[in-house]
Each structure stands twice: as C-alpha cells, then as structure tokens.
Amino acid sequence: MGCNNERLPGVKESVRALNFESTFRRIGFVLLLSIIVAALMGFFSGGYISSATKMNRTHSLKVEYERVGRLQNELRMKISPHSLIADTYLFSIGGAFNERFQPGSVWPQPDRMFSQGETLYLVYNDVAGKRDFSVRVYATPSTAGKAVNTVKVNDEPEVRFWQFIFP
C-alpha cells in the first residue's frame, strides 16, 4: 500500500505554494460564481438589476431604460407621456445623450427629428387621439462611464436619470 508521505525523486514540494494554490482556487471559484450570478441578474446589461423606470414629479412622463450597459451594445429606452392633452408632442433628449450615445432606430418614426446643441428633438404631430402613445429609442453607447441624461415632453418637467456603461 502507498504512503502519503512518500516523496518522489527530483520533486520538491513547497507547503507554502500548495496552500497558496488551494486558497486561490477557492477564492477564484467564489469570484467566478459571483460574476456569473451578477451577469444573470443583469448587472452588466439588460436584466433585473439593470432595468429601471423613472417618472417626472407630475407623473406626466415615464421613462423605462437600462441603467447598466456595455460599450457598443445597443440600449433601449421607452418614453411614455401620460395624461397629456396636446396635438403635438415635442420630445427632447438631452444631458449627456448626444455626447455619449449614437442614436439608432426610433419607433414610431417621428414626423421631424433634429438636434440643437446637446439636445435631440423628436416631433410627433396629430397624436391627440392616440391612446397609450409611447416612443422607443435605441441608442449605442460610444463612451464608457456614467452618463446623466434628461428626457422632456412639451413643457412638462423633465426626467433625469443616469446610466453606467462598462467598457
């Protein structure tokens, strides 16, 4: 029968190195498991942690967005005005949006779309009869870091929110 204390010729075992390896494996496993759980919950992109909703102080505008995203991966934003009586909606998206994001598709297509300074404007005409009107904006982050954006419709108070973009 073999003995555990038997040494092989030419092999020098270091108890310190073996202990380091064992500790590193345990810590590495816990770290890897933590990263996997965070990714499944949406910490790095769309998911439970990342999905967020904000309303303005009068509850006339709601913005649903992804709080955390990855650089060069498209993010979605849904803008929904509530209880507004107007024939024309003028959505303005500002803050760091024009500087840090590249706008992609917008649905439904606005009647007019233009940029002035650091604000993107979307104009929708003849919306008075449409119930549950909302706009979906898809944008691709072009800069990593924290971005503070604002969304406003007509003369209503704005919604201010932040997004963090991982490299």
Phi, psi of 57 (to 5 degrees): -65, -20
Q: Where are the domains of the chain?
A: 14-43, 51-166
Distance CA 90, CA 124 (A): 7
Q: Which fold has domain 51-166?
A: Immunoglobulin-like (2.60.40)
Q: pTM of the predicted model, to two decimals? A: 0.75
Q: In the prediction, which pLDDT does 154 show? A: 94
HSE, CB side, 13 Å, CA atoms: give it for residue 160.
Answer: 4
Region label for 123, one of left (φ > 0), alpha (ψ between -120 and 50) or beta (otherwise):
beta
| DSSP codes, 52-74 | EEEE-TTS-EEEEEESEEETTS-
**Below-70 pLDDT ranges, the chain:** 1-6, 8, 42-47
Q: What is the pLDDT of residue 130?
A: 74
77: Cα separation from own chain's centroid? 9
Report whether 157 contacts 62 (CB < 8 A).
no
Report how far residue 157's alpha carbon sits from residue 54's, in angstroms, rounded to the nearest whole number.
12
Q: What is the pLDDT of residues 83-95, one digit of tens each?
A: 788 889 999 999 9
Contact 153, 95 (CB under 8 A): no
DSSP secondary structure letters along 134-151: -EEEEEEE-S-EEEEEEE
Q: What confidence score (pLDDT) does residue 14 get?
A: 85
Question: Mapping DSSP to helix (H, G, I), strand (E, B) and coil, where does residue 93 land?
Answer: strand
Enter the tokens of residue 137: 């904006």
* pLDDT at residue 4 in the model: 62
Distance separating alpha carbons of residues 19 and 37, to the nearest angstrom: 27
